[in-house]
Chain A
Amino acid sequence: MVTEVLGEPHVPLGERVLMKGNEALAEAALKAGCRAYFGYPITPASEITSYMARWMQVEGGTFVQPESEVAAINMVFGAAGTGMRAMTASSSPGISLMSEGVSFLAAAEVPCLIVNIMRVGPGLGGIQPSQSDYFQATRGLGHGDFRVIVLVPANLQEMVDLTFDAFSLAEAYRIPVLLLADGVLGQMMEPVTFTRAIDPASLQEPEWATTGASGRPKRVVKSLYLDPAELEEHNRSLQEKYRRIEQAEVRWKTYALEGARILLVAYGTSARVAYHAMELAEERDIPVGLFRPITVYPYPYDALREVVQQRGIEHILVVELSAGQMVEDVRLAVEGRCPVSFFGRSGGTIPAPLEVLEAIRNVAEELPATGAAPRKGGAS
């Protein structure tokens, strides 16, 4: 259990503890050496901000609840520009407000962590869980030709682990990293284990950080380039960085591919529901596998296409808590090699595994009959 003792580790290392997703994420950020948090509360992400309000000072860091999300992201810009690990967290409408700042951070190549615990939109929408910010996360997080790395955990342990990875990736590529989860992952409790804690003093100061130019040449962190030639060169170098990320940082997991004819593709909470539906289908001798992206930028295009080709997948069913957004990336991946169908719920409703099973059945009925023996189960 979490013990509230000032100056002592609040969540001990190596112990299995039951924590709420938002709190586990915040604790992971603290243990990853994050010492600057700027955030404005919003359901269903508020516990991240309240946890940081409670514990950031204990860790000797800076916590500010500014007047708006616009201010929050710009405070992240300032803090992260000094080379320290800094972050903000919000939910969908709050992330929209941050757009301009994210573009500035990406252009100035300032590493940071941004967390979106998605709620349903558009507009103020509702406060229930959703995955309808996929387009925003992977394409439209701000103006200009830029990308951010987008990590999509499906359980709380993965959310903790990816929070650590987010800071390392952000620093390795000098890029903002977006951790994209939803209200289910933010609000639920599940056991997690913290295996390490990073002392921020042990982190090396980046050679670009603006830490005061006394005794050395000045460093500039900026996004303004008025000379077109200089800006084109800057943009070319950004694009070159994105190509390196696409080569090296793609992550995904596959389940039960052996003998699969239908492939479910889902991430985050949808992947949990899809996994359950896959086991229900298996009990009914419907040969289904699951492909779960863990990064959605960079998207595992090649990996998904290879699964379809090598396993002879005949039909893909994409499951999302949206009207269908990631389904476009799946179609880009498979390049027409097999039909791609979509099942989704919107409005904040989480589909029951039986609903997804029904969608799988509809797809299965379309498959040509085969004399093959029923498949064997098991994760691959």
Chain B
Amino acid sequence: MLGRRLEIIIAGFGGQGVMVMGQLLAYTAMDAGLHVTWMPSYGPEQRGGTANCTVVISTGDIASPIVARPHVAVAMNTPSFEKFEPRVVPHGVLLVNSTLVPERSHRTDIDVFYVPAVEVAAKLGTEKMANVVMVGALAAATGVLPLKALQAELGHFFEGPKEKLIDPNRRAMRHGFGLIPREDRHGPYFVGVTISG
């Protein structure tokens, strides 16, 4: 049986870390005991154009790992904004990397969050952490997974000599989470699922 599920598309330039953002969500969901699929766009798109990945997280079986109209879209650049903003389902969530995307959505049937991810990441030390800032914002805006669980998962992403990057990234994620105003934050999406941080 299919269960309660959340379908997320994350898109941006190759090199912005969009695949890793999806994998961070996927690993955290798996460790939380949820069902998950991660599907990349592949091929020529990865060479300098836009890259995207689709993550489906569910309490039950996941049928198709490919999603035409996501519940949540993350646009890290303008081409991704143009492609995925119209596709978000009504009552869905759109997160926009407003440092690089000047466009504004005219849709009134979805929640749009403008997150200056690159700017915030740069202030915290390096623009490279913009993807992690955005994951923090996504966690706050959707309630998909607890911030603590995602922060814990970061420990598996940086091993050996890269271990020193764990703490700055955890900090960046917390800052991203904090960018979503308290009243706009979503409660736990998978109610009844116990997820340890």
Do the beta carbons of A188 and B39 come within 8 Å of each other? yes
Cα of A128 to Cα of B45 in the assembled complex, Å: 12
B4 at the interface (CB under 8 A from A): no
Establish whether residues A189 and B38, one from each chain, have CB atoms under 8 Å apart when the complex forms: yes
**Chain A residues whose CB sits within 8 angstroms of the CB of B61 once the complex forms:** 275
Contact with A along B110-140 (1 / 0, CB 8 A): 0000000000000000000000000000000
What does the 1/0 interface line of B52-67 toward A look like (CB < 8 Å)? 0000000001111111
- Tell me the nearest residue of chain B to A278, going by C-beta: B63
Residues of B within 8 A of A189 (CB): 23, 26, 36-39
Question: Bound state CA distance, A353 and B64, in angstroms?
Answer: 8
Interface string of B40-54 (1 = CB under 8 A from A): 101110000000000
Considering only residues 140-197 of chain B, those with a C-beta below 8 Å from chain A are: 156
B2, A272: Cβ atoms closer than 8 Å: no
A127–B42 Cα distance when bound, in Å, is 8
Q: Which residues does chain B contribute within 8 Å of A190, judged by CB atoms?
A: 36-38, 62, 65
Smallest CB–CB gap between A55 and chain B, Å? 18
Q: Tally chain A residues at the interface, Cβ within 8 Å.
A: 26
Give A169-206 as 1s and 0s: 1 = Cβ < 8 Å from B's Cβ atoms: 00000000000000110011111000000000000000
* Residue of chain A at shortest CB distance from B63: A276
A147 to B63, CA, bound (A): 31
The residue of chain B having its C-beta at the shortest distance from the C-beta of A43 within the complex is: B43
Q: Mark B1-38, 1 if CB is under 8 A from A, else 0.
A: 11000000000000000000001001100100001111
Q: Measured between alpha carbons, how far is A273 from B169 in the docked complex, in Å? A: 37
CB distance from A192 to the nearest CB of B (A): 10
Q: Is A124 an interface residue (CB 8 A)?
A: no
Residues 338-373 of chain A, each 1 if its beta carbon lies under 8 Å from chain B, else 0:
000000000000101110000000000000000000
User: Which one of B26, B37, B44, B156 has the highest number of Cβ atoms from chain A below 10 Å of its Cβ?
Assistant: B37
Check A379 for interface membership: any CB of B closer than 8 A. yes
- The reply to whether B65 and A184 contact each other, CB–CB distance below 8 Å, is yes
Instruction: Please state if B63 and A353 are interface contacts (CB–CB under 8 Å).
Output: yes
- Contact across chains for A183 and B42 when beta carbons are under 8 A apart: yes
Q: Are B65 and A188 in contact (CB under 8 A)?
A: yes
Q: Which residues of B contact A353 (CB under 8 A)?
A: 63-64
Which of chain A's residues has its CB closest to B42's CB? A187
Instruction: Give the complex CA separation of A275 and B58 in angstroms.
Output: 15
Q: Is A16 an interface residue (CB 8 A)?
A: yes
Known: A1-B27, A18-B26, A379-B1. A275 touches B42 (CB 8 A): no
Contact at A18–B38, with CB atoms within 8 Å?
yes
How far is it, in angstroms, between the C-alpha of A370 and the C-alpha of B69 when the chains are bound? 35
Asked if A27 CB lies within 8 Å of chain B CBs, one says: no
Q: Is A279 an interface residue (CB 8 A)?
A: yes
Is the beta-carbon distance between A272 and B36 smaller than 8 angstroms?
no
With CB as the reference atom, state the residue of chain B lying closest to A185. B65
- Chain A residues within 8 Å of B40, by CB: 187-188
CA distance A275 to B63 in the complex (A): 6
Q: Which residue of B lies closest to A46 (CB)?
A: B42
A324 to chain B, nearest CB (A): 20
Complexed CA–CA distance, A275 and B1 (Å): 9
Q: Is A44 an interface residue (CB 8 A)?
A: yes
Please, which residue of chain A has its CB at the minimum distance from the CB of B53?
A: A189
Q: Mark A1-24, 1 if CB is under 8 A from B, else 0.
A: 100000000000000101000000
Which residue among A44, A191, A276, A279 has the maximum number of chain B CB atoms within 10 Å of its CB?
A: A191
B30 lies within 8 A of A279 (CB): no
Q: What CA separation (Å) do A235 and B98 show in the bound complex?
A: 68
Task: Check A279 against B36 for contact (C-beta < 8 Å).
Answer: no
The residue on B at minimum CB distance from A187 is B42
A269 to B43, CA, bound (A): 19
B43: chain A residues at CB < 8 Å are: 43-44, 127-128
Residues from chain B with a CB closer than 8 A to the CB of A18 are 23, 26-27, 30, 36, 38
Chain A, range 121-139, C-beta contacts under 8 Å to B: 127-128
Interface residues in A61-92 by Cβ distance below 8 A to B read none
What are 8 A-B residue pairs whose CB atoms fall within 8 Å in the complex?
A43-B43, A128-B43, A188-B39, A189-B26, A189-B36, A190-B36, A191-B36, A279-B63
In the complex, besides A18-B38, A188-B40, A191-B35, 17 extra interface pairs with C-beta distance below 8 angstroms are A1-B156, A43-B43, A44-B43, A184-B65, A188-B37, A189-B23, A189-B37, A190-B37, A191-B36, A272-B65, A273-B64, A275-B61, A350-B66, A352-B67, A353-B64, A354-B68, A378-B1
The 6 closest A-B CB pairs, nearest first, are: A276-B63, A189-B38, A352-B68, A188-B39, A350-B66, A127-B43
